[in-house]
A and B are shown apart, each in its own frame.
Chain A
Amino acid sequence: MFDEQRFIRLAKMIYQLMSLTFGLVLLISGLLLYYVIDPNFSFFNSKADSLANAPAIIDENRIENGIHVRTGLIDAEGLMTVVNNCTNCHSSKLIIQNRMNSERWNATIEWMQETQNLWPLGDNQEVIVNYLVTNYPTKNKGRRENLANIDWYELE
Chain B
Amino acid sequence: MPAGYEPLALQDPNPFKMFNKHKDMTVLNDRPWNIEAQAHLLDNEITPNSRMFIRNNGLIPEEIDLESWTLTIDGESVVNKKTYTLTELKSKFKHHTYQLTLECGGNGRSEFNPPAKGNQWTVGAVHCARWTGVRLRDVLEDAGIKSNAVYIGFHAVDKHISLDPDKEPISRGCPIEKALQDETILAFEMNGEDIPLVHGYPLRLIAGGWPASVSGKWIKGISIRNIVHDGTKMTGTAYRIPCDPVQPGEKVKDEDMCIINSMPVKSLITYPKSGATIKEGKVLNIRGHAWAGELEVAKMEYSIDFGSTWKTCNIKKPVNRLAWQHFSAMVNFPKKGYYEVWAKASDINGNAQPMLVPGWNPKGYLNNACHRIAIKVN
A binds B: yes
Q: Are A90's CB and B275's CB within 8 A?
A: no
Q: A141-B113, A142-B113, A147-B340 are in contact. Are A98 and B118 (CB under 8 A)?
A: yes
Q: Are A88's CB and B5's CB within 8 A?
A: yes
A58 at interface by CB-CB < 8 Å? no
Q: A90-B161, A98-B117, A153-B277 are in contact. Are A144 and B357 (CB under 8 A)?
A: yes
Per-residue CB proximity of B1-34 to A under 8 Å, as 1/0? 1100111101000000000000000011111100
Give the contact stretch, choosing among B69-77, B94-102, B308-316, B369-377.
B369-377
Selected contact of B119 from candidates A97, A99, A145, CB within 8 Å: A97
Q: Are A116's CB and B162's CB within 8 A?
A: yes
Size range of the chain B interface in the assembly: 35 or more
A94 at interface by CB-CB < 8 Å? yes
Selected contact of B28 from candidates A84, A87, A97, CB within 8 Å: A97
Nearest-Cβ distance from residue A92 to partner chain B, whole angstroms: 9
B residues less than 8 Å from A150 (CB atoms): 274-275, 374
A2 at interface by CB-CB < 8 Å? no
Where chain B touches its partner, the secondary structure class is loop
Nearest-Cβ distance from residue B171 to partner chain A, whole angstroms: 13
Q: Are B161's CB and A145's CB within 8 A?
A: no
- Tell me the complex Cα distance, A87–B9, Å: 11
Q: Are A100's CB and B117's CB within 8 A?
A: yes
B residues less than 8 Å from A135 (CB atoms): none
A12 at interface by CB-CB < 8 Å? no
Nearest-Cβ distance from residue B252 to partner chain A, whole angstroms: 12
A residues less than 8 Å from B30 (CB atoms): 91, 93
Q: Which of B212-229 contact A (CB under 8 A)?
A: none
- Tell me the complex Cα distance, A90–B58, Å: 10
B48 at interface by CB-CB < 8 Å? no
Number of A-B contacts (CB under 8 A): 98
B144 at interface by CB-CB < 8 Å? no
B residues less than 8 Å from A106 (CB atoms): none
A residues less than 8 Å from B115 (CB atoms): 98-100, 138, 141
A residues less than 8 Å from B10 (CB atoms): 56, 59-60, 70
A1 at interface by CB-CB < 8 Å? no
Q: Are B277's CB and A152's CB within 8 A?
A: yes
Q: Are B274's CB and A143's CB within 8 A?
A: no
Q: Are A93's CB and B1's CB within 8 A?
A: no
- Tell me the complex Cα distance, A89–B278, Å: 48
- Tell me the complex Cα distance, A154–B276, Å: 6
Q: A143-B113, A154-B277 are in contact. Are A85 and B164 (CB under 8 A)?
A: no
Q: Are A91's CB and B8's CB within 8 A?
A: yes
Q: Are A91's CB and B111's CB within 8 A?
A: no
Q: Are A117's CB and B27's CB within 8 A?
A: no
Nearest-Cβ distance from residue A111 to partner chain B, whole angstroms: 8
B residues less than 8 Å from A101 (CB atoms): 114
A140 at interface by CB-CB < 8 Å? yes
- Tell me the complex Cα distance, A141–B118, Å: 17
| Chain B minimum-CB-distance residue to A99 | B115
B residues less than 8 Å from A134 (CB atoms): none
Per-residue CB proximity of A94-110 to B under 8 Å, as 1/0? 10011111001000100
B residues less than 8 Å from A119 (CB atoms): 1-2
- Chain A residues with a Cβ under 8 A of chain B: 56, 59-60, 70, 84-85, 87-91, 93-94, 97-101, 104, 108, 115-117, 119, 138, 140-145, 147, 150-155
Q: Can you report 14 residue pairs joining A to B where beta carbons are below 8 Å apart?
A: A89-B161, A91-B8, A91-B30, A97-B120, A98-B117, A101-B114, A108-B117, A138-B114, A143-B356, A144-B355, A147-B374, A150-B275, A152-B277, A155-B277
Sample of 12 further A-B pairs with CB below 8 A, known A56-B10, A93-B28, A141-B113: A88-B1, A88-B6, A98-B117, A99-B115, A104-B117, A116-B160, A141-B112, A142-B113, A144-B111, A147-B340, A155-B276, A155-B284
